[in-house]
Amino acid sequence: MARPRKVFYRRRKVCKFCADKIDYIDYKDVKLLQQFVPERSKILPRRISGTCARHQRLLQQAIKRARHLALIPFTTD
């Protein structure tokens, strides 16, 4: 009964910061941060981006700092 089993696959998400060995997420690096704030300017959740917990925490901090300095928006209307 060699029924072809349905193969599921999901691309394995890897934390971008781990892969790139970034240990300090700079709030001034707008280009980098923007990858994690899609159109609505909400912070991209871990479950989507695959960022590890530690880096998500650092990222969150950096995004909030950047927002304070008007480098990235809080929201888009």
Partner 1 sequence: MRIYELTFIVDPRVADEDVVAMTQEYKQMIAAGGSTISKEESWGRRKLAYPIEKLNEGKYVLLGIESEDGRTSLPEVEHRMRQNDKILRYLTVRIDEDLKRAAAKHPPAPAAAPGTPAPGEPAPPAEAAGEGA
Please state the closest distance from residue 26 (CB atom) to partner 1, in A: 9
Residue 45 or 73: which CB sits closer to partner 1? 73
| Min dist. Cβ of residue 46 to partner 1 (A) | 20
Nearest CA among 66, 27, 35 for reference residue 74 = 66
- Asked whether 69 and 63 are in contact (CB, 8 A), the reply is no
Q: Counting every residue, how long is the chain?
A: 77
Residue 2 beta carbon to partner 1: minimum distance, rounded to whole angstroms: 18
Quick one: 18 or 46, whose CB is closer to partner 1? 18
Cα–Cα distances in angstroms (integers) from residue 60 to residues 1, 21, 27, 34, in the given order: 51, 17, 10, 12
Tokens linked to 15: 């934390």
Which residues of the shown chain bind partner 1 in the complex (CB under 8 A)?
A: 9, 11, 21, 23-24, 27-28, 58, 65, 67-74
Q: Which residue, 49 or 55, has its beta carbon nearer to partner 1? A: 55
Kindly state the tokens that stand for 33: 């941060």
